[in-house]
């Protein structure tokens, strides 16, 4: 019996000893916080140079302002309405209902949305929002497109005031409304609708004999989107979508032509050149993402509730978890880990967008630094510095490599377009065209493999392979492009 009691005491002592050891270790960590790493400081410095709010962001947000009203003023008013709705809800003292109570949750957001609509109506000042033609809003530039489809979109001419506003937005640089986690996102749909019309209009210009004007229009679109795509990952991906449409239009136009002269070919090659800078641009968009990460961590630190800042309900179990999380949370170490993942993602995006293989995400990060193999695994986490920060950094680790693949797909389409233009410049057809495709220069081949594109001479189709589902091109390729 005595032996049995001793065994029980020892069994009870083991977890108590482990808990005591964890408390001692975590207390030591709490008393010896780490400094910011060089990488984090450099990211802070780069991000600090970026505007978090721009006038062009307000202009984009207010694109559909009533006739005669300044879209910047209207766009700012919409943002202020959103912020007032948020502040009023905070001041009311009412907590958001739990997501487990679907009826209460739906009622809460219905009331909140109604309040926002009421506030935004005041921004109209009695006027009515402008609008693009509905058929243009619902239309698409995609593959394949018939001549009738291109003409149909081009005929849906927006009002002159909307055209002028959209052109100012395109040329106006980055479009941002804040770097905080809850900052509003500008409404992009109107600008993308305008791009659809302008790209189709330039296609019709080419068909009507104004090839130079068409190329100049597409060149302007591609250049403007490249210059502003670093504003955010969302901005970068929308830039890819817009540039894909312009490139697809150029490829289709060139393929339908019997001959492209030297000057026009040179202008077309120049129009496509900004696309080759997109791997660096999409990587640079991670600096804007860093601003958001920093904002989230700062909000978590100063918030009365660590968990509330991260969107966790403040019930008893959450409050208890909150206190424990604060005790073992090291903000600088968390920022340092976020910096590591941000820089890794920049490198990964740059490589993948260039057509290279995606690097492997470090297993140590995915396992919160606990293990590099099948040992004790997660049991070591309580003994590690900053376990909460490690988990946050791993969970939030940006798995954005598919965004890089979309850029590589765009570059592949541009490569096919250069091949099409060069083939028309040389006036090739038949066996000579097939031979040219098989022996094309490096910048007219598949970006991913470096091999020539597949060409079906019987159907006169070029078939570039794209790796990601595309909002313009649809499902993953190969795609049949006319040649």
pLDDT of residue 197: 97
- pLDDT surpasses 50 at 310: no
Mean pLDDT over 279-299 rounds to 87
Which stretch of 47-61, 349-363, 411-425 has the lowest confidence by average pLDDT?
Answer: 349-363
pLDDT of residue 364: 75
Q: What is the band of 178 on the pLDDT scale with cuts at 50, 70, 90?
A: confident
Question: What mean pLDDT is reported for the chain?
Answer: 85
Q: Tell me what percent of the residues of the chain surpass a pLDDT of 70.
A: 86
Mean pLDDT over 335-352 rounds to 91
Mean pLDDT over 54-73 rounds to 96
- pLDDT surpasses 70 at 2: no
pLDDT of residue 372: 55
- pLDDT surpasses 90 at 471: no
Mean pLDDT over 120-143 rounds to 91
Q: What is the band of 179 on the pLDDT scale with cuts at 50, 70, 90?
A: confident
Q: What is the band of 309 on the pLDDT scale with cuts at 50, 70, 90?
A: very low
Three-state DSSP string of the chain: CHHHHHHHHHHHHHHHHHHHHHHHHHHHHHHCCCCCCHHHHHHHHHHHCCCCECHHHHHHHCCCCCCCCCHHHHHHHHHHHHHHHHHHHHHCCCCCCCCCCHHHHHHHHHHHHHHHHHHHHHHCCCCCCCCCCHHHHHCCCCCCCCHHHHHHHHCCCCCHHHHHHHHHHHHCCCCCECCCCCCCCCCCHHHHHHHHHHHHHHHHHHHCCCHHHHHHHHHHHHHHHHHHHHHCHHHHHHHHHHHHHHHHHHHHHHHCCCCCCHHHHHHHHHHHHHHHHHHHHHHHHHHHHHHHHHHHHHHHHHCCCHHHHCCCCCCHHHHHHHHHHHHCCCHHHHHHHHHHHHHHHHHHHHHHHCCCCCCCCCHHHHCCCCCCCCCCHHHHHHHCCCHHHHHHHHHCCCCCHHHHHHHHHHHHHHHHHHHHHHHHHHCCCHHHHHHHHHCCCHHHCCCCCCCCCEEECCCCEEECCCCCCECCCECCCCCCEEC
- pLDDT surpasses 60 at 386: yes
Q: What is the band of 373 on the pLDDT scale with cuts at 50, 70, 90?
A: low
Mean pLDDT over 273-298 rounds to 90
Higher pLDDT, 17 or 442: 442
């Amino acid at each position: 019996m005595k032996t049995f009691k001793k065994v029980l005491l020892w069994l009870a002592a083991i977890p108590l000893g482990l808990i005591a050891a964890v408390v001692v270790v975590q207390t030591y960590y709490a008393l010896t916080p780490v400094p910011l790493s060089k990488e984090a400081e450099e990211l802070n410095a780069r991000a600090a140079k970026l505007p978090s709010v721009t006038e062009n962001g307000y202009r984009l947000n207010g694109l559909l302002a009533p006739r005669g009203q300044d879209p910047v003023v209207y766009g700012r008013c919409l943002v202020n309405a959103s912020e007032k709705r948020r502040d009023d809800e905070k001041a009311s003292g009412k907590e958001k209902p739990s997501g487990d109570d679907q009826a209460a949750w739906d009622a809460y957001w219905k009331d909140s949305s109604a309040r926002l609509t009421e506030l935004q109506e005041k921004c109209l000042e009695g006027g009515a929002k402008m609008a693009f033609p509905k058929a243009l809003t619902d239309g698409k530039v995609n593959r394949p497109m018939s001549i009738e489809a291109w003409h149909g979109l081009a005929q849906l001419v927006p009002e002159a005031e909307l055209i002028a506003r959209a052109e100012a937005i395109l040329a106006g640089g980055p479009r941002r409304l804040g770097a905080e986690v809850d900052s509003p996102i500008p409404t992009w749909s109107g600008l993308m609708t305008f791009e659809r019309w302008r790209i189709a209009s330039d296609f019709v210009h080419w068909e009507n004999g104004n090839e130079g004007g068409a190329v100049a229009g597409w060149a302007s679109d591609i250049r403007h989107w490249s210059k502003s795509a670093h504003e955010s990952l969302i901005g970068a991906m929308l830039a890819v979508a817009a540039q894909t449409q312009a490139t697809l239009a150029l490829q289709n136009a060139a393929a339908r032509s019997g001959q492209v002269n030297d000057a026009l070919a040179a202008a077309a090659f120049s129009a496509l050149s900004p696309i080759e800078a997109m791997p660096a641009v999409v990587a640079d968009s991670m600096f804007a993402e860093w601003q958001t990460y920093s904002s989230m961590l700062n909000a978590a630190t100063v918030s009365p509730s660590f968990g509330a800042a991260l969107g966790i309900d403040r019930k008893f179990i959450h409050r208890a978890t909150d206190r424990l999380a604060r005790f073992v949370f090291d903000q600088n170490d968390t920022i340092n880990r976020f910096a590591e993942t941000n820089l890794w993602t920049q490198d990964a995006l740059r490589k993948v967008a260039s057509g290279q293989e995606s690097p492997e995400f470090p297993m140590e990060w995915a396992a919160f630094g606990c293990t590099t193999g099948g040992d004790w695994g997660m049991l070591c986490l309580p003994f590690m510095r900053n376990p909460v920060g490690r988990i946050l950094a791993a969970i939030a680790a940006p798995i954005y490599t598919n965004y890089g693949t979309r850029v590589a797909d765009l570059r592949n389409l541009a490569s096919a377009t250069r091949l099409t233009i060069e083939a028309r410049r040389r006036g090739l057809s038949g066996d000579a065209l097939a031979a040219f495709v098989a022996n094309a220069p490096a910048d007219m081949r598949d970006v991913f493999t470096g091999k020539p594109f597949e060409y079906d001479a019987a159907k006169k189709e070029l078939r570039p392979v794209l790796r990601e589902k595309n909002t313009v091109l649809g499902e993953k390729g190969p795609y049949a492009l006319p040649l």
